[in-house]
Amino acid sequence: MSRDSILQAVREATRTNPIQSVKPTHFDTMIYDRENLLSVYTQYQKANMAHLITTTKDSLANSINEIIKECDIKELLCAKNIANMKDSIMQSLETQTLLYDTSIDSMRDKLFSIEASILHAQVGVANLGIVGLGTNECNPRLASLVVKTCIILLHKDSIVPNLFSAFKILKTSGQDSNLPTNIVFLAGPSRTADIELQTVFGVHGPQNVYVVLYE
C-alpha cells in the first residue's frame, strides 16, 4: 500500500469517526481527611526506606543539624529555594554550606565530590509515599541525584492524595503554568535489581534520603 493511499484512508476514517477532544479526569476512590492523608503519606514514605522526621518550622534548623551530626556531613549543597525561604535556615546550619547558584560546568568538580544536599520539595504524594520536585534554577535536578545523602524539606500542607493532584501543583512551578521540563519524584534511596534480582541501594543516586516534614 502506498503512502498516499494510507494517508487517504486515515483522512476518510477521521471524517467518519472524528477524534474527540477529551479533558483528562481522575477519580480517587479514597476519601482523605487531613489527619488520614498525613498518616497514609507517612506509612508509604517509610515503606520506601526514607528516613522521615516530623518537626515544626521553628525547630527546622535543629532537626537538620541532627541529621548533619548523624551523617557526619562536612559540606552541604544547598539549592537556591532553601536560601530563598522566608526565614532562611542556612545561617543556622552547623556545617559548611555551598549554594548551588551557578552553572554545572563552573562547579562540576565540586558537585560530584560533595557528600550531601538539601532542597525543598513542592509536593508530597500520599498514596505513593514520594515527594515531587519541579526542577528549575532554584531547584536543580542534580542536587538530588549526585550526593550520597539527600535532605528534602516538605511542608505538611503540600501533601496531596495522588499523582494527578501532584501534577496540578507542579504545573505552577513551570513557566506560564506549564509543567517543568524536568520533574523528579523521590521515594527513598536509589535502588536497582538488575543483577540476579538482588536489590542494591545507592548505586546511581542517594544512599540515604531524609524527608523533613514540617508545619
Q: 81 lies in a domain?
A: yes
Amino acid at site 68: I
- Is residue 142 within 8 Å of 79, Cβ to Cβ? no
Any alpha helices (H) in the chain, and if so which ranges?
A: 3-16, 34-47, 60-71, 80-83, 108-111, 163-170
Any domain includes 19? no
Q: What is the pLDDT of residues 118-176, one digit of tens each?
A: 999 999 999 999 999 988 777 778 888 889 999 999 999 999 999 989 998 998 776 67
In a domain, 79, yes or no: yes
The reported pLDDT for the residue numbered 44 is 94
The predicted pLDDT at position 68 comes to: 97
Domain assignment present for residue 113? The answer is yes
The burial of 89, by beta-carbon neighbours within 10 Å (0-12 exposed, 13-18 middle, 19 or more buried), is given as buried
Structural domain includes residue 18: no
Query: In this predicted structure, which of 10-19, 40-49, 71-80 has the lowest mean pLDDT?
Result: 10-19
Instruction: Please report whether residue 10 resides in a domain.
Output: no
CATH at 187:
3.40.50.10420
Instruction: Give the pLDDT band (50/70/90) at residue 195.
Output: confident
As given in the structure block, the three cell numbers for residue 152 are 528534602
- 30 pLDDT more than 80: no
All three cell numbers of 159: 501533601
What span, in angstroms and rounded, lies between the C-alpha atoms of 214 and 6? 58
Q: Which domain holds residue 149?
A: 32-214
Domain total of the chain: 1
Residue 26 has pLDDT above 70, yes or no: no
Instruction: Please indicate, yes or no, if residue 3 is contained in any of the structural domains.
Output: no
- Residue 139 DSSP label: B
**Is 185 a member of any domain?**
yes
Express each pLDDT in 69-121 by its tens digit: 999 999 999 988 887 776 678 889 999 999 888 887 788 888 888 999 999 99
pTM given for the model: 0.81
Nine-digit cell at 134? Answer: 519541579
Place 23 in a pLDDT band, splitting at 50, 70 and 90: low
What is the pLDDT averaged over residues 28-48? 84
* Model confidence at 41: pLDDT above 90: yes
- Rounded CA-CA distance 146/141 in Å is 9
The per-residue b/e assignment along 45-83, b for 16 or more CB within 10 angstroms, e otherwise, is: beebebbbbebeeeebbebbbbbbeebebeebbbbbbbb
pLDDT on residue 1? 63
What is d(CA 80, CA 165) in angstroms, rounded to the nearest whole number?
Answer: 25
